[in-house]
């Protein structure tokens, strides 16, 4: 997303009344298409965002780089326990952690090696688990309660939709299970844990990969960002353990 588009997005989100009041929020995967929309939604609502990245090129093209309410941290390997702990230990008074980082792979099971499965588990489940663990510790230290939002996927809820991408579907289903179990575990600490489950989202990369699809039916990243922002916000006072479908018209 270009710098001008990111700033317009931020201004749009300033108009709808949700107020994070300077609360600190981690957004993993924040430099991607959905991540840029989520960070724009958050800073527009007054949040201070901490965005880890893996490669310098991600940071260089990030539309909100240099924003006064955005801190980029990296390179950060979210599959590394020590790196994740250092990321969260450096954040004062953490309120929320949003975990968008992950990966996608599509192949028949006969062409999916053990290494491919492990990679999907590392990119999707392990990153979410380590960041959830660190977030719970950091939010508990702050003592004000907080929010965690993970990203599952439509095949995590509709398993038949995972045909041809079994490693991905299994790893995202594990993220959904992690979310619900953790929500029950930390509810009494005032930490509400939820996830969204997107279908294919309307991004330039997805349009290029599927040029003949009905792009108008796909959910827009800005629309998904609104749902994520609500789940992470102080306005969400009761929703926990939800895996929220964000399918648009698809």
- Exactly one of 95, 168, 218, 230 is catalytic; name it: 168
Residue 196 corresponds to which tokens in the numbers above?
A: 């969204």
Residues recorded for the chain: 250
Element containing residue 71 per DSSP (H, E): strand 70-73
Read off the tokens for 191: 């930490």
Provide CB contacts within 8 A for 179, sequence distance 6+.
Answer: 150, 152, 193, 194, 195, 241, 243
Q: What angle do CA 237, 218, 18 make, to 5 degrees?
A: 25
Q: How far is CA 200 from CA 177, 184, 195, in A?
A: 21, 29, 16
Tokens of 93: 């008074």
Hey, what are 26's tokens? 């981690």
User: Token digits for 133?
Assistant: 């663990």
* Gyration radius from the chain CA atoms: 17
Active site residue 168: yes
Interior angle at CA 224, CA 70 and CA 132, nearest 5: 60
E-strand stretches of 100-170: 146-151
Catalytic residues: 168
């Amino acid at each position: 997303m270009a710098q001008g588009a990111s700033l317009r997005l931020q201004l749009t989100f300033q108009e709808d009344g949700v107020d994070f009041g300077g609360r600190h929020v981690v957004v993993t995967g924040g430099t991607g298409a959905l991540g840029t929309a989520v960070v724009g939604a958050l800073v527009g609502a007054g949040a201070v965002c901490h965005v880890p990245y893996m490669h310098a090129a991600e940071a260089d093209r990030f539309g909100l780089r240099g924003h006064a309410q955005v801190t980029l941290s990296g390179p950060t390997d979210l599959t590394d326990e020590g790196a994740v702990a250092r990321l969260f230990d450096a954040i004062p008074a953490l309120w929320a952690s949003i975990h968008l980082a992950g990966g996608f792979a599509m192949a028949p099971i006969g062409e999916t090696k053990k290494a491919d499965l492990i990679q999907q588990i590392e990119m999707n489940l392990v990153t979410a688990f380590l960041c959830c663990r660190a977030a719970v510790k950091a939010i508990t230290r702050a003592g004000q309660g907080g929010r965690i939002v993970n990203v599952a996927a439509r095949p995590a809820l509709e398993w038949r939709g995972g045909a041809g991408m079994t490693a991905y579907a299994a790893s995202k289903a594990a993220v959904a299970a992690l979310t619900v179990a953790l929500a029950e575990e930390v509810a009494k600490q005032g930490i509400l844990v939820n996830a969204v489950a997107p279908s294919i989202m309307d991004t330039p990369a997805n349009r290029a990969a599927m040029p003949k699809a009905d792009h108008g039916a796909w959910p827009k990243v800005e629309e998904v960002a609104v749902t994520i922002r609500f789940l992470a916000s102080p306005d969400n006072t009761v929703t926990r353990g939800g895996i929220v479908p964000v399918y648009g018209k698809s």
